[in-house]
Amino acid sequence: MAKAKSAYVCNDCGADYSKWQGQCSACNAWNTLTEVRLSSAKSTGARGARFEGYTGSTNATQVQDLSEVNLADMPRFASGSGEMDRVLGGGLVPGSAILIGGHPGAGKSTLLLQTMCHLAQQMPALYVTGEESLQQVALRASRLGLNSQNLKMLSETSVEQICTTAQQLKPKVLVVDSIQVMHVEDVQSAPGSVSQVREAAAYLTRFAKQTGTVLFLVGHVTKDGSLAGPKVLEHMIDCSLQLEGDSDGRFRTLRSHKNRFGAVNELGVFAMLEQGLKEVKNPSSIFLSRGDQPSPGSLVMVVWEGTRPLLVEVQALVDQSHMNNPRRVAVGLEHNRLAMLLAVLHRHGGLQTGDQDVFVNVVGGVKVLETSADLALLLSVVSSFRDRALPQDLIVFGEVGLSGEIRPVPNGQERIREAAKHGFRRAIVPKANAPKQSPEGMEVVGVSRLSEALEAL
């Protein structure tokens, strides 16, 4: 009997090696190599399509001009959820592979079950569950009040059996929940291992491309929030979505980290209710639930998420520190950027916070990734330090440089119009973003230095 061959694959980047080593030479990560057993030549030969790539193309193709490619062959169709369609770039594309990740309890299965129950009334749909029994899924659908007619269900973990059943039913949409429990017969390792996840995802993705089926894959995440499994999993799929939100929170955010059919970092907001996840068409309204009385350290800023502006509240608390090293805590913002901005405030704003604890929080659990929140963050810190509340009709955005200059941000005019729509009457913005004619009933103050912004308060 021939000895089974094995290789070692990095969990982070997917690089493979013939023998184990402590550090991956490709991504420099430590202790990320795991053993993968290679299938024999006989078994792989029986499934020769394994080496055809992820596109599923097995026939000889002809060279075409890019202008001659017919886009009508891949028409989008709506998923039934406007927020999901926004994140996906306008709807579902036939033959696309979509990966949805999130922490346990975030609502991945609930969101997909709602979507599938809606699509099943218009087209063939198949929901494959490998973690739950059919009775558990039916119980959830009954609790949410969903129309479960016409939705085909299958409880299976064998990838080959799933594809065989799908070839018979010919669904337009296929959900596999989850990819970590699926297994391929030819791979001699446990479900959830690097090799099983990689081969199962490649097998299902190839099937979706060949048949024009929309494929949803549910993925688990690790402790740090990254997707569990090999890095190559994110390369072979078309869209990578992340459903975020605390299990005890009311709202969930759906964000795209990779999208071959639309904008990246698009954001969709859902509210978790007794009837399931309901889309929030005006996310700014839910993040602006402020009290009637103005409080020091509270300020509203305009951030840009994907293709639309979003109004969120940032809160700062500055208090006397009783430790040798004052604390710097940022929730929803980058911790290193907070430390840098406090240094700019000291040098160019004349405000010393070296002996103060500084806590900054973005209300609603929103994660702000862009630099347009710099100016609003500093002004909220100044407001808390001076114990002086800012007007509730004030809006602020702008990037702050290390020399104290206020840099312009993209889509400044759209941000100002969104703020005026929600009743804000005063805005402090970068001078380059200030419009020639302010919106009716709104005063726009353009500033070019941090000192000018502090004087405008």
Annotated binding site for ATP: 102-109
Instruction: Decide if 289 contacts 376 (C-beta within 8 A).
Output: no
d(CA 313, CA 444): 19
Phi, psi angles (nearest 5°) of residue 175: -115, 130
Binding residues: 102-109
CA gap 372, 430 in Å, rounded: 10
Lookup: tokens for 31: 């202790």
Of 165, 117, 125, 168, give the one whose Cα is nearest residue 141: 117
Nearest to 148 by CA among 116, 181, 107: 116
Alpha helix (H) ranges present in 270-411?
A: 283-286, 335-349, 374-386
**Beta carbons of 54 and 209 less than 8 angstroms apart:** yes
Q: What are phi and psi of 429, to 5 degrees?
A: -135, 165
Q: For residue 320, which phi and psi values (nearest 5 degrees)?
A: -60, 130
Chain length of the chain:
457
**Residue 41 φ/ψ, nearest 5 degrees:** -65, -30
Tokens of 196: 């099983």
CA distance 162 to 439: 57
Q: Rounded CA gap, 303 and 44, in Å? A: 50
Helices (H), 387-441: 412-421
Task: Return the structure tokens found at 120.
Answer: 């099943």
Name beta bridge partners: 311: 302
Dist. CA 368–CA 380, nearest whole Å: 15
| Sign of the dihedral defined by the CA atoms of residues 226, 230, 232, 233, in that order | negative
- Cα(135)–Cα(282) distance, rounded to whole angstroms? 36
